[in-house]
Structure 1
Amino acid sequence: MNQTIESLLSHRSIRKFNNQPISDEQRNVILDCARAASTSSFIQCTSVIRVVDQEKRRLLAEYAGGQPYVAEAAEFFVWCADFNRHLQIKPDAKLGFAEQTLIGAIDGALAAQNALAAAESLGLGGVYIGGLRNNPEKVSELLGLPMNVIPLFGLCLGHPAQNPEVKPRLPSSLYVHEDTYQLMDVDTLATYDQTIREYYRTRTGGNKEMSWSDQISGTLNKEARPFMKAFLESKGFSTR
């Protein structure tokens, strides 16, 4: 076990931060680590918007469903899939393919995970904000995102003012498959469900008792963000 592995295994989402700023040196290192992430075919189709304007922060917190830490964190970044930069190089670039949407999302996620891992190694904490996709058009307008650029998610970073437990992940036997896909073992799932139920009970002082299966059943009981396909197409993504 080394420090890198210990840092990765101790990941928690941090939603409360103190008022201490992140230094320019720390921020630059974090963003350098993001830029160093793997990128499909060296396309480099990720852009990051660092949001410092407090009114924009307030609006983004609102657009994300009322998440106050978007406005309160020392730093807030919006990660984007960006093919507009490529159009500036090759105006007749063939864009709009579904595969490019996947590449943009994957590249962005890899870069952002590098950034968060780097931040946590420096003693900082953070949380991803997928709620920006609740209002992708408003986010795009606020940040001046042109065609062929879409917001993927946000990332709050700061000095932690809380120390939550590590949320138990799926056991390896349900996560790792060898040679072929294997259906879940029901007994292992039942044990994990009880672990998650106890985690929520402890974390909320008994106000929430929900298994992972309960959570999945509720989450996948309806379509999330049914406007997303039309938004992607309006920005030039997944049109073919």
Structure 2
Amino acid sequence: MNTMINLINNHRSVRHFEDKPLSEEQIQMIVTSAQAASTSSFIQAYSIIGVTDEAKKKKLAELAGNQSFVETCGHFFVFCADLHRHKVVSEMEGINLTESIESTEKFMVGLIDAALAAQNAALSAESMGLGICYVGGIRNNLHGICEVLKTPEHVIPLFGLAVGYPARENEQKPRLPYHHIYHENEYEQSPNQYKVELEEYNKTISAYYHERTSGKRADTWTEQMSHMFEKKKRMYMKDFVQEKGLDRV
């Protein structure tokens, strides 16, 4: 175990922050670290929007499901899949790149590039003693988010990253068992094996919630997932993505 592995394995989401903004140097370091992440074929199909305006942060917190820490964190970053600059490239080079820009493949490149950059940003922030929390809630109302952030066509906000000085840290949630995530040579497809491992994981998660809430909660992971997937959520997404000029081909 080295310092970096310890940092990675010690991750937990932070949703309570001190009333203290990040310095410009910290912000630049986090963004520079994000840019150091791998990017498919050097396409760099993402952008990061830092939100400092108090009114905008308040609106984003509301649109993300009234998550107050979005408004009170030290700095709020929004990671976007971005093929807008490649539309500009097509104009500069006099080549029609629309079909490629609007393909499902390039949309996936944007998603992956943004996710890789964000994880670098998160690790950079945590290495400075800061806390972070990813915020997928911004996808609850992307029309509203895009209006606040003034994003052009071919740009889609994917998730936020709240960063700040932790006022309180949560306990770390136990992850799925190693052998349930890692498959060697081929995908393990035995339903019985899956069920055995998930039953064991259910016991772990139930005990975690029982201890964390002093017995007020003891639900299992499979219960959580079944309830979550049962509720149809953000079903407008495909239409929205295509409205923004991506995933059309």
The aligned residue for residue 199 of structure 1 is 208
Give 1 or 2: higher helix fraction: 2
Alignment correspondent of 1:136: 142
2:77 corresponds to 1:73: no
Residues 53-92 of structure 1: CA deviation (Å, up to 9, x unaligned): 1010000000001100000000001110111111111132
Task: Give the one of 86, 91, 97 matched to 1:93.
Answer: 97
Give 2:237's aligned residue.
228
Q: How many residues are matched?
A: 240
Partner AA of 1:217 in structure 2: S
Whole-Å separation in 1 of the counterparts to 2:214 and 2:116: 35
Specify the alignment match of 1:177 in structure 2. Answer: 183
Shift of 1:175: 0.6
| Structure 1: 4+ residue segments shifted above 4 A | none
Q: Which residue of 1 is the match for residue 119 of structure 2?
A: 113
Q: Distance in 2 between matches of 1:196 and 1:237?
A: 38
Q: Identify which of 186, 209, 230 aligns with 2:218.
A: 209
Q: Which runs of 5+ in 1 are unaligned?
A: none
**Amino acid of the residue matched to residue 59 of structure 1?**
K
Amino acid at match of 1:151: P
User: Could you report, residue by residue, the CA deviation over 1:132-158 in whole angstroms, capped at 9, with x for unpaired residues?
Assistant: 000001100111000000100000000
In the alignment, residue 230 of structure 1 is paired with which amino acid?
D
Could you tell which deviates more after superposition, 191-200 or 218-227? Answer: 218-227
User: What is the root-mean-square deviation of aligned Cα atoms in Å?
Assistant: 1.1
- Measure the CA separation in 2 of the matches of 1:45 and 1:234: 18
% identical aligned pairs: 45
| Structure 2 residue identity aligned to 1:195 | T
Rounded to whole Å, the distance in 2 between the matches of 1:66 and 1:181 is: 40
1:5 aligns with 2:11: no
Q: Which letter does structure 2 place at the counterpart of 1:104?
A: G
Question: Which amino acid is the alignment partner of residue 22 of structure 1?
Answer: L
C-alpha deviation, 1:191, in angstroms: 1.4
SS in 2 for 1:135: helix
Aligned pairs (5 A) from 1:150-169: 150-169=156-175
SS at match of 1:220: helix
- Equivalent pair of 2:16/2:169 in contact (CA under 8 Å): no
Gaps of 5+ in 2: none
SS in structure 1 at match of 2:133? strand
Residue 28 of structure 1: CA displacement? 1.2
Letter in 2 for 1:170: L
Return the offset for 1:99: 1.1
Shift of 1:20: 2.6
Q: Give 3-state SS (helix, strand or coil) of 1:78's partner.
A: strand
Cα distance between partner residues in 2 of 1:175 and 1:212: 15
Q: Distance in 1 between matches of 2:102 and 2:212?
A: 44
Residue-by-residue CA offset, 1:117-138 (whole Å, 9 max, x unaligned): 1111111011011000000011
SS at match of 2:167: coil
The residue aligned with 2:40 is: 40
Q: CA deviation at 1:219?
A: 1.5
Provide the secondary structure at the position in 1 that maps to 2:230.
coil
Distance 2:111 2:135 in 1: 14
TM-score, length of structure 2 as denominator length = 0.93
